[in-house]
């Protein structure tokens, strides 16, 4: 291998030298001292170099040893004669380096896989393993997420600090009656004006056993005349004061605690009542005309617990000495029948809403009151819904009465209120011949305080005895 490289290199150098000799014609030998550079000497040098290369010595000595010993006798080489040699050596080295780089690049290109190699040459087992790793990673992520969700669900929600429960005692929940008023709406019921008062001193033993109650108050005493007719209406207005340190919620109520509820079992206050605040409540009672429990007691209650004040109502029934609502039957008076030829419920306030569908004969409903009398008819002359009355509202009713008897109605005959509220119409004098019709105009003024009245009744009357038709006006309080 070394001899071949040396021969190749020698051939290149010889070729280069011949080319240079052709370009520069050899000059005649020049004498430099006693020695002359001749072709024979060049041949000798070449033979020596070849021998050295054969022996493995690659030194490029072009000067024979004999000449090296005496450099003074050797002709001095010019710089121009060495330039071609160095140029050739550099060119050869550059070509060798370039060839090595090109070979290395081709080797790299052969070894590098292309894009298709990545997609087609990957073993199926490796691809399957990658997919398994992805699935395992997804399952792990889902497991971690599910674990976090389970922990979040298992962890109890953060609760707000509960408010401290207020003790249910007289210091925190207490009440008293500031004032009260009772109003019957029938002549068969009488109220004792001296009855409403505080009875706390008389109930000390009871209060000692019930520490949450601080007052007992009597709302009134009613005397009821017994009769077989329907219950009568009684209204009780009460003003309560919150004496405790806690607020009454809106669902606190006045609730029956003992006896008959008289149609008022529970009445929620409907509004929050702060300490020191007053709250007005109205009890709409229906008192039976027959004997029942002698007393009824209501109390303030909150979530089923009684507190504050007891409200006592006393009742007393007496036997009737007359025919009841209309008095004794009158044989010397001929009955009259009422025909409502026209009803003009001209309400001058939008708060009054007449219901014409309820106007008509109601004799059957009032049969118990009519039985012991000579009155043969009851007629509802109006049914008014009271939505809201902030001031007096005027309602005009016009009706027609017909005398169907044989005689003229005597002097002193009048259309008179027999129960309920008059609304400004107490009586109307009548002087009607037999077999004739008379028109009666009834201007009624309805105030807010009177809107709770259930019914008002008028009838023809003479000397305290009622005859003829019973005229009924119905009111229904429906606030909006």
Question: What are 297-341's pLDDT values in tens digits?
Answer: 999 999 989 999 999 999 998 876 544 455 544 444 555 555 555
Cα–Cα distance, 437 to 403 (Å, whole number): 6
Q: Which of 207, 275, 439 is nearest to 341 (CA)?
A: 439
Q: Is the pTM of this model over 0.95?
A: no
Q: How many CA atoms lie within 13 A of 446 on its CB side?
A: 33
pLDDT of residue 329: 43
Cα–Cα distance, 65 to 63 (Å, whole number): 6
pLDDT of residue 122: 42
CA 239 to centroid of chain Cα atoms: 36
pLDDT of residue 266: 93
pLDDT of residue 204: 92
Cα–Cα distance, 413 to 431 (Å, whole number): 7
60-116 residue pLDDT tens: 444 444 444 444 444 444 444 556 666 677 777 777 777 665 555 555 444 444 544
pLDDT of residue 276: 94
Tokens encoding 367? 């049969």
Domains 175-318 and 326-477 share a fold: yes
Q: Which CATH architecture has domain 175-318?
A: Sandwich (2.60)
Tell me, what DSSP letter sits at residue 449?
Answer: G
pLDDT of residue 172: 87
Cα–Cα distance, 296 to 274 (Å, whole number): 28
Dihedral sign for Cα atoms in the order 34, 39, 41, 45:
positive
pLDDT of residue 70: 42
Domain limits, the chain:
1-14+43-61, 175-318, 326-477
- Check if the beta carbon of residue 311 is closer than 8 Å to that of residue 299: yes
CA 107 to centroid of chain Cα atoms: 76
Tell me, what DSSP letter sits at residue 101?
Answer: H
Strand 465-477 versus strand 427-429 pairing type: unpaired
Residue 199: partners with Cβ closer than 8 Å, 6 or more residues away: 216, 217, 218, 312
CA 405 to centroid of chain Cα atoms: 70
pLDDT of residue 404: 74
pLDDT of residue 139: 57
Cα–Cα distance, 116 to 243 (Å, whole number): 94
Residue 164: partners with Cβ closer than 8 Å, 6 or more residues away: none
Cα–Cα distance, 176 to 155 (Å, whole number): 49
Per-residue CA distances from 293 to 260, 273, 297, 315, 332 (Å): 6, 32, 11, 8, 41
Residues of the chain with pLDDT under 70: 1-6, 16-87, 99-164, 187, 228-229, 320-349, 388-392, 405-406, 431-435, 447-454, 478-480
pLDDT of residue 102: 52
Q: Which of 272, 273, 254, 274 is nearest to 264 (CA)?
A: 254
Q: Which of 218, 215, 216 is nearest to 182 (CA)?
A: 218
Tell me, what DSSP letter sits at residue 386?
Answer: E
pLDDT of residue 93: 73
**Alpha helices (H) in 155-260, listed in sequence order:** 204-209
**Alpha helices (H) in 37-77, listed in sequence order:** 39-54, 65-69
Match domain 326-477 to its CATH number in 1.20.1440, 1.10.3470, 2.60.40, 1.10.3430. Answer: 2.60.40
């Amino acid at each position: 291998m070394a001899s071949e490289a040396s021969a190749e290199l020698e051939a290149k150098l010889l070729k280069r030298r011949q080319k240079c000799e052709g370009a520069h014609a050899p000059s005649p030998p020049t004498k430099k001292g006693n020695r002359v550079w001749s072709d024979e000497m060049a041949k000798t040098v070449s033979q020596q170099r070849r021998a050295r290369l054969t022996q493995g010595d690659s030194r490029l000595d072009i000067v024979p040893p004999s000449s090296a010993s005496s450099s003074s006798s050797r002709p001095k080489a010019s710089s121009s004669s060495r330039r071609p040699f160095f140029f050739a050596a550099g060119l050869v080295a550059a070509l060798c380096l370039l060839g090595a780089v090109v070979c290395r690049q081709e080797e790299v290109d052969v070894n590098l896989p292309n894009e298709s190699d990545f997609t087609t040459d990957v073993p199926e087992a490796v691809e399957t393993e990658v997919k398994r790793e992805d699935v395992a990673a997804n399952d792990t992520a889902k497991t971690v997420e599910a674990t976090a969700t389970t922990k979040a669900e298992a962890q109890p929600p953060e609760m707000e600090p509960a408010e401290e429960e207020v003790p249910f005692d007289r210091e925190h929940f207490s009440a008293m009656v500031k004032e009260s008023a009772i109003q019957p709406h029938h002549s068969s019921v009488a109220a004792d004006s001296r009855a409403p008062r505080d009875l706390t001193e008389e109930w000390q033993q009871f209060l000692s056993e019930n520490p949450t109650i601080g007052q007992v108050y009597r709302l009134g005493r009613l005397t009821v005349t017994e009769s077989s007719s329907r219950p009568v209406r009684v209204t009780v207005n009460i003003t309560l004061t919150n004496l405790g340190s806690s607020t009454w919620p809106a669902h606190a109520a006045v609730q029956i605690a003992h006896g008959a509820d008289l149609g008022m079992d529970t009445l929620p206050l409907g509004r929050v009542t702060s300490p020191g605040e007053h709250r007005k409540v109205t009890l709409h009672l229906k008192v039976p005309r027959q004997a029942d429990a002698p007393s009824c007691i209501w109390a303030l209650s909150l979530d089923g617990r009684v507190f504050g004040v007891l409200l006592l109502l006393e009742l007393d029934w007496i036997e009737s000495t007359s025919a009841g609502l209309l008095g004794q039957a009158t044989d010397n008076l001929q009955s009259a029948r009422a025909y409502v030829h026209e009803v003009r419920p001209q309400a001058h306030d939008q708060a009054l809403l007449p219901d014409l569908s309820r106007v008509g004969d109601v004799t059957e409903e009032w049969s118990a009151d009519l039985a012991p009398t000579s009155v043969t008819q009851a007629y509802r002359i109006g049914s008014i819904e009271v939505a809201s009355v902030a001031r007096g509202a005027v309602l005009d009713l016009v009706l027609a009465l017909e005398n169907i008897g044989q005689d003229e109605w005597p002097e002193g005959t009048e259309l008179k209120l027999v129960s309920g509220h008059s609304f400004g119409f107490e009586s109307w004098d009548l002087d009607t011949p037999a077999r004739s019709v008379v028109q009666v105009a009834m201007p009624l003024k309805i105030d807010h305080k009177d809107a709770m009245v259930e019914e008002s009744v008028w009838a023809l009357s003479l000397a305290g005895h009622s005859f003829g038709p019973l005229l009924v006006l119905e009111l229904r309080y429906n606030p909006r």
